[in-house]
Amino acid sequence: MSAQLSQNQDLLSRTLRSVWHPCTQMKHHERMPPVPIARGNGMWLYDFDGNRYLDAISSWWVNLFGHANPRINAALSGQLDRLEHVMLAGFTHEPVVQLSERLAVLTGLSHSFYGSDGASAVEIALKMSFHYWKNFGRPQKTAFLSLKNGYHGETVGALSVTDVPLFRDTYAALLQRTTQLPSPDWRNARPGESSEQVAIRAASALEAVLVEQHERTAALIVEPLVQAAGGMAMYHPRYLREARALCDRHGVHLIADEIAVGYGRTGSFLACEQAGIRPDFVCLSKGITGGYLPLSVTLTTDEVYRVFYDDEMTRGFLHSHSYSGNALACRAALAVLDIFEDDAVIAGNLARSAQLTSRCARIADHPRTRQFRNTGMIWAFEIETTDPQFARKFHGHALDRGLLLRPLGNTVYLMPPYIMEEEQMEMLVAGICAILDVTD
């Protein structure tokens, strides 16, 4: 046995003794242990046995420009020598100021409030909207609207507006009651209906609820264009335009949770741009640091900001996180924005998306796949299977072929970093087709 192999075994037994892994029934690791990773480089993750895995899901959608990216590494080492962190209450620093200024230009929202992960950005948006209405003299506006099949994170507030039964049902007794609206998912189309018509129909359901409930409703929260964790449901931008107009008409905030779809994932920097709308709140996280460090931000308008600006302490937004606006995380986020600019990433992704889509024809035409769909740098399809363990088995077969893929139920999706090369696309598509041929 080589020294490396034993290092692998050693880490495995130690992780199972001491690390409680996320989104995992730990007993399942008896049959399929986690994979110890020694290092990463570009699209690849390497284990201790010399195997490598193509990271086709950006390590849970966070990695935009590859592992061990030289430009982000350099930015971080420079920052390490100056300032790693300082509390953001009563203090400020260059990276957090620059990041807020640049995000204001990119989103049209001029005030940035920082958290550490996606769920905290959602909590901040929900609390800010609620508090806005209280300060505004409408304290009865305390309820939230969300979409069927939506996902906004798993802390108690964020889970209240999430509709993924696997994550939600166990904790139902802890959650706020919210109203769930029909999803504009184009797969809900009735015979002869276009995706735009599905969006219009979903918007009229929203209108009916707003007419009835607007006086007690603070905000509507949506994932723009793609409902990601709920199974990569995609929808027409018309829904966002209608939702914006309806929220305006009824005095309800629109919260765009762009944690998964922002940062170029759907083909524009923000998904909302494709509908030509500006939300009252935008939540960003995941890709914000290129997959390096936990950071999230909730951006909002001057109008919201002004309602908190007062001599009275408690009219201010007193929410806080210890690592709010961490200098290292903000520096990584600035390096990410530099790459977007220097490499014209949004334009480059147009070509990259078209290349992978055309290679995916083989997947779309495969007899076992259904509902093949694509938005920007997200691809998804359903698999015909009777096997309840499909997702885990597919994940295992993919690892055997050097691919990191992690289906959501029967939905297989691709969400690669924005650096994928043609050869890697070929390997990915060929690997998926081969797995579909051998599994059942």
- Give me the 365-404 binding string for ligand PLP, x by CB under 6 A, dash otherwise: ----------------------------------------
Residue 152 beta carbon to ligand PLP: minimum distance, rounded to whole angstroms: 5
Q: Which residue is nearest to ligand PLP (CB)?
A: 118
Q: What is the dihedral of CA 358, 363, 369, 370, to 10 degrees?
A: 0
Query: Per CB under 6 A, does 57 bind ligand PLP?
Result: no
Q: Which stretch binds ligand PLP (CB under 6 A): 131-139, 186-194, 223-231, 331-339?
A: 223-231
Question: Can you tell me which of 266, 285, 298, 424 binds ligand PLP, judged by CB under 6 A?
Answer: 285
Residue 286 beta carbon to ligand PLP: minimum distance, rounded to whole angstroms: 6
Residue 60 beta carbon to ligand PLP: minimum distance, rounded to whole angstroms: 7
Binding-site residue total for ligand PLP (CB under 6 A)?
A: 15
Residues of this chain, 105-164, that bind ligand PLP according to CB under 6 A: 117-119, 122, 151-153
For ligand PLP, give the closer residue by CB, 153 or 157.
153
Residue 10 beta carbon to ligand PLP: minimum distance, rounded to whole angstroms: 29
Query: Per CB under 6 A, does 288 bind ligand PLP?
Result: no
For ligand PLP, give the closer residue by CB, 76 or 147.
147
Give the whole-angstrom CA distance, residue 310 versus residue 321.
22
Question: Can you tell me which of 229, 329, 412, 425 binds ligand PLP, judged by CB under 6 A?
Answer: 229
Question: Can you tell me which of 76, 161, 203, 228 binds ligand PLP, judged by CB under 6 A?
Answer: 228
For ligand PLP, give the closer residue by CB, 299 or 363.
299
For ligand PLP, give the closer residue by CB, 164 or 307.
164
Residues of this chain, 237-256, that bind ligand PLP according to CB under 6 A: none
For ligand PLP, give the closer residue by CB, 8 or 162.
162
Residue 147 beta carbon to ligand PLP: minimum distance, rounded to whole angstroms: 11
Query: Per CB under 6 A, does 257 bind ligand PLP?
Result: yes
**Which among 114, 148, 107, 149 has a CA at the least distance from the CA of 128?**
114
Query: Per CB under 6 A, does 223 bind ligand PLP?
Result: yes
For ligand PLP, give the closer residue by CB, 45 or 259.
259
Interaction site with ligand PLP (CB under 6 A) = 117-119, 122, 151-153, 223, 228-229, 257, 259-260, 285-286
